[in-house]
Chain A
Amino acid sequence: MREYAVLGAFLLVGIVLPAAVVIGGWLLGPKRANPVKNSTYECGLETVGETWIQFKVQYYVYALIFVIFDIEVVYLYPWAVAYNRLGLFALVEALIFAGILVAGLFYAWRKGALAWF
C-alpha cells in the first residue's frame, strides 16, 4: 500500500504543477481581449459553418477495432507474467488465443476495415 500512497503524492504534485503554471500565466499575462482576437483562427479567413459536425466514420471504425484488440492484448498480460511457471500448457493455450487474434485481424483486413479512404 505504501507504494501507492507515494504514487498518490506524486499525482498531487503532478496536478499542482500544471495548474500553478496556468494560474501563473493568467496572473502575469496581459488581458486585452477583443472580439477579433477571440475569434476562431483559420488563417485569416472567416470561419464557415459548424466545426462540431458528424465526422469521417473511418475514425470510429478504427476505434472499434482498437477496443476489440486492446482487450485481447490485455488478456495476454496475465498470461505473460505467469508464463515462466505455466510451461507447455500455457503455450498451447496462447497459440490458440493468438490464432483467434490473427483470424480477427485478417477478417477486419479482408472486410476493408483497415483501409483508409
Chain B
Amino acid sequence: MLADFIETIVKILVVVVVLLTGFAYMTWFERRVIARLQVRIGPNRVGPEGLLQPLADGVKLFFKEDIIPAEADKALYLLAPMLAVVPSLLAAAVLPFGPDVTLFGRTIHLYIADINIALLYFLGLGSLGVYSVVLAGWASNNKYALLGGLRASAQMISYELAMGLSVLAVVMLTGSFSLVDIVEAQAGGRWFVLMQPLAFIIFVITMLAETKRAPFDLPEAEQELVAGFHTEYSGMKFALFYMGEYIGMIVISGVAVSLFLGGWQGPFAEQIPLLGVLYFFLKVAVFMFFFVWMRATLPRLRYDRLMQLGWKVLLPLSLANVVVTALAVVARDTGFFGLLG
C-alpha cells in the first residue's frame, strides 16, 4: 500500500517536472527554430546556444509587476490563467509513455492512470480549456481581449467536433477508450495512421486549432488584436497562459502519437523499456517541430475561412470517415472480403 502510494507520488512528480521542463525548453526550441527558418540566429547569448534562456525568462517574469486593471472583474481575472494550466496538465495523466518496467521487484506502469474512458477524459479536458480563454477575454474588460476570447471559444468548439469524430474511428478499430489499450493494439508496427490516414490528417489539423497555434492563432493575432485574450496580463499570470498552451501542445502531441503512431511502440521496445520511452519522446518531438514549422510556413487564416474549414470541410469529412470505417469493420468481421475472394 505504502509502496503504491510512493510510486504514484513519484510518477506524478516526474510527469509534472518533465512537462514543465518540456514547456521551458519548448519556448527556447521554438524561438531557435523559427529564427533558423527566417534566416536569423535567435536567442544564443544566455548560456551555451542560449540554453539558459528559459531560466532567465522565468526569473524575469517572477520579478515583474502583477498588474490588475482597475476595470477588470478581479476574481475571474485571477482564475483564468490558472484554468489555462489545469486542464492541459491533467490530460497528461492518461498518456502511456512507455512499456511496463520492473524496478526493485515491482512492475511499474509508465502511465499515471489507466481509466477506461481515457479519451473522453482527454476530450472533456480539452473543452474545459475554452473557459480560461473566454474568462480571460471577458474579465479583462478590454475590447481586444474580448474579441480574442470570443474568437477562441468559437474556434475551439468548431474544431472539437471534427477532433472527436476523427478519434472515434480509432475507437471503433480497438473497441476501447483507454490509450493504454489503443497503444497495445498497435503492436508490431500496425500503426493506425496506416489504417486511418484521413482521421490522422483531420486530427493533426484540429490539434493545431485546439491549441490555438498558427495558422489558427486568431485569438492572439498580434497584428490586429495586440495579444488577444491575454492583452491585459503581465508577470507570472501571463506566463501561465504560455505554460498552458505549451503543455497542451506536448500533451496533445502525446495523444496523437498514442492514437496514430503507435505510442511507445518500436523495435525492441518490449525488451528494453527505456527504448520505448525514448521512442515516445522522439515521436512527440517530431510533432513539436511540426508545430513550429507550421507557424513559420503558413499565414494566418481569415476568420470566416477558419469557421468554414471547420464546419463545411472537416466535420463532413470526419463523419464520412466514421461511416466508411464502420462499413470496413463490418466487412472484415462478417468475412465479406472472404466471400469476394
Residue positions of A touching B, CB distance < 8 A? 3-4, 6-7, 9-11, 13-15, 17-19, 21-22, 24-26, 28-33, 35, 37-43, 47, 51-52, 55-56, 59, 62-63, 65-66, 69-70, 73, 76-77, 80-85, 87-88, 90-91, 94-95, 98, 101-102, 105, 109, 114, 116-117
Smallest CB–CB gap between B228 and chain A, Å? 13
Across the A-B interface, give the 5 residue pairs with the lowest CB-CB distance, nearest first: A25-B236, A116-B304, A18-B82, A84-B175, A38-B70
Q: Is the CB of B146 within 8 A of A51?
A: yes
Q: Is the CB of A19 within 8 A of B82?
A: yes
* B residues near A116, Cβ cutoff 8 Å: 303-304, 307-308
- Which of B13, B61, B64, B93 is the most central at the interface, judged by chain A CB atoms within 10 Å of its CB? B93
Find B68's partner among A38, A62, A73 (CB 8 Å cutoff). Answer: A38
Q: Known contacts A38-B70, A66-B160; can you find 8 more A-B pairs with CB under 8 A?
A: A7-B115, A25-B64, A40-B69, A40-B140, A73-B165, A82-B175, A83-B329, A116-B308
Chain B interface size, under 10 / 10 to 19 / 20 to 34 / 35 or more: 35 or more
Q: Is the CB of B65 within 8 A of A10?
A: no
Find A43's partner among B89, B172, B226, B304 (CB 8 Å cutoff). Answer: B226
Smallest CB–CB gap between A48 and chain B, Å? 9
Q: Is the CB of B168 within 8 A of A51?
A: no
Q: Is the CB of B86 within 8 A of A35?
A: no
Residue of A nearest to B307 (CB): A116
Find A13's partner among B12, B63, B70, B78 (CB 8 Å cutoff). Answer: B12
Q: Is the CB of B319 within 8 A of A101?
A: yes
* A residues near B67, Cβ cutoff 8 Å: 33, 37-38
Would you call B120 an interface residue if the criterion is a C-beta within 8 Å of the partner chain's C-beta atoms?
A: yes
Would you call B330 an interface residue if the criterion is a C-beta within 8 Å of the partner chain's C-beta atoms?
A: yes
Q: Is the CB of B62 within 8 A of A114?
A: no
0 or 1 for each of B72-104: is its CB under 8 Å from A? (1 = yes) = 000000100110111001100100000000000
Q: Is the CB of A102 within 8 A of B319?
A: yes
Known contacts A39-B70, A62-B157; A22 and B330 CB within 8 A of each other: no
A102 to B318, CA, bound (A): 11
* A residues near B68, Cβ cutoff 8 Å: 38
A73 to B141, CA, bound (A): 35
Q: Is the CB of B226 within 8 A of A6?
A: no
Q: Is the CB of B333 within 8 A of A76?
A: no
Would you call B114 an interface residue if the criterion is a C-beta within 8 Å of the partner chain's C-beta atoms?
A: yes
Smallest CB–CB gap between B171 and chain A, Å? 4
Stretch at the interface among B191-199, B253-261, B309-317: B309-317
